[in-house]
Amino acid sequence: MIAAKGYAGFDAKSPLKHYDFERREVGDHDVLIDVLYCGICHSDIHTVRDEWGGAQYPLVPGHEIVGKVAKVGAKVKKFKVGDKAGVGCMVNSCGECEPCKSDLEQFCNKGSTFTYNSLEDGKVTQGGYSNKIVVTEKFVLKIPDNLELANVAPLLCAGITTYSPLKHWKIGKGDKVGVIGLGGLGHMAVKLAKSFGAHVIVFTTSPKKVEDAKRLGADEVVISKNQNEMQKQLKSIDFIIDTVSAPHDLKSYMELLKRDKTLCMVGVSPEPHEIASGAFIWGRKSLSGSLIGGLAETQEMLDYCGKHGITCDIEKITMDKVNESYERVLKSDVKYRFVIDMQASAL
Ligand SMILES: [Zn+2]
Ligand SMILES: [Zn+2]
């Protein structure tokens, strides 16, 4: 076994703290990565605080992982020691079902193995708030050389979560795209939709975010509490990506879509939303959802971001600041992702 150290949650209520644990030996198809940076995703907080249920402690969160390859198994072809490498939300899947064969490992019929709090060979997986991780080659991603490594980390979740639906619904030049919420996911949705040539409208409850939304590329910013501003967008939008992970009024956004268009949810709310069927019936509209992206599409997204120089806006922290950073995430007091600098941290 390989000795690893990091920070873990030990129950739903206590702060994360130091944890010594073991990674498996490097198998023939495995890659050992020295973790250099790991982003803090809102899902980490939901999971470690058991807000979605099923938390298994000790629990090392983190699924926005970048680092350098330290060792490769005998049959590994894609990577060599010293290469930059990334790991996102999944570390394995069955590989044989229809979704897996369609490069949609996130929808594996047997359940994908997620990077943390998931079972793999009878052991619970542990995430990237740690100095080392061992992952099978297929689930390790190549990182474009020209991008700042720390700013790449959140692309592995926030980036692909917003890239995938924009591609699936074929967003391109001339489309009007609404982005609800300007946090980690929202700011990536703005950058990506803009780079695809869309006209981007950000919906936020916070007037303080107007200027920043425009800096990130938004063409318009609507304060969602302002009925007049909302009315001006009625039946005018081609696609809405909803990044908010708390219940909110979906009907008022469905009304902004043109006929036959879709609102896609990417924020996982612990409580259900309330919405009446009339919101879809009038205008034959769709309410949909999207979950990260498969391995091939995640690699495509990273390559695209490399080509277009797109990364996340981040605030670097050391591991000892992780608990206070969680509180700041909950207050949306971060632009726009915290990233833990593993080498600067005393683990
Ligand atoms: Zn995430
Ligand atoms: Zn499968």
Q: Greater confidence, 300 or 267? A: 300
Average pLDDT over residues 74-79: 98
| Portion of the chain with pLDDT greater than 70, in percent | 100
Q: Kindly give the distance from the C-alpha atom of residue 152 to the centroid of ligand 1, in angstroms, as a whole number.
A: 13
Average pLDDT over residues 63-84: 98
E strands present in the chain: 2-8, 17-23, 30-40, 65-72, 84-87, 90-92, 113-114, 119-120, 123-124, 132-136, 141-142, 176-180, 199-204, 220-223, 237-242, 257-265, 286-289, 314-317, 337-341
106-124: pLDDT as tens digits: 999 999 999 999 999 899 9
Question: How many CA atoms lie within 13 Å of 109's alpha carbon, on the beta-carbon side?
Answer: 8
Q: Kindly give the distance from the C-alpha atom of residue 158 to the centroid of ligand 1, in angstroms, as a whole number.
A: 6
Q: Kindly give the distance from the C-alpha atom of residue 226 to the centroid of ligand 1, in angstroms, as a whole number.
A: 30
pTM for the whole thing? Answer: 0.96
Which of 303, 162, 336, 158 has the alpha carbon at shortest distance from 239?
A: 162
Name the segment(s) of the chain with CATH classification 3.40.50.720: 159-289
Which of 245, 229, 127, 237 has the alpha carbon at shortest distance from 183?
A: 245
Question: In the chain, how long is the greatest CA-to-CA distance?
Answer: 63
Pair 242, 264: CB distance under 8 Å:
yes
Which of 321, 301, 4 has the alpha carbon at shortest distance from 154?
A: 301
Q: Kindly give the distance from the C-alpha atom of residue 258 to the centroid of ligand 2, in angstroms, as a whole number.
A: 36
Name the segment(s) of the chain with CATH classification 3.90.180.10: 2-157+314-341
What superfamily in CATH does domain 159-289 come from?
Answer: NAD(P)-binding Rossmann-like Domain (3.40.50.720)
**CA end-to-end span of the chain, whole Å?**
19
247 confidence band (pLDDT: 50, 70, 90): confident
CATH number among 3.40.640.10, 3.90.180.10, 3.90.226.10, 3.30.9.10, domain 2-157+314-341: 3.90.180.10
Ligand of minimum distance to the alpha carbon of 61: 1
Please report where in the chains the tokens 């309330």 appear, as a residue.
Answer: 274
Q: Kindly give the distance from the C-alpha atom of residue 103 to the centroid of ligand 2, in angstroms, as a whole number.
A: 9
Q: Kindly give the distance from the C-alpha atom of residue 282 to the centroid of ligand 1, in angstroms, as a whole number.
A: 34
pLDDT of residue 268: 85
Q: Which two tokens stand for residue 122?
A: 């009878």
142-161: pLDDT as tens digits: 999 999 999 999 999 999 99
Q: Kindly give the distance from the C-alpha atom of residue 127 to the centroid of ligand 2, in angstroms, as a whole number.
A: 21
Average pLDDT over residues 9-33: 98
| Portion of the chain with pLDDT greater than 90, in percent | 95
Q: Kindly give the distance from the C-alpha atom of residue 124 to the centroid of ligand 1, in angstroms, as a whole number.
A: 18
Q: Kindly give the distance from the C-alpha atom of residue 42 to the centroid of ligand 1, in angstroms, as a whole number.
A: 6
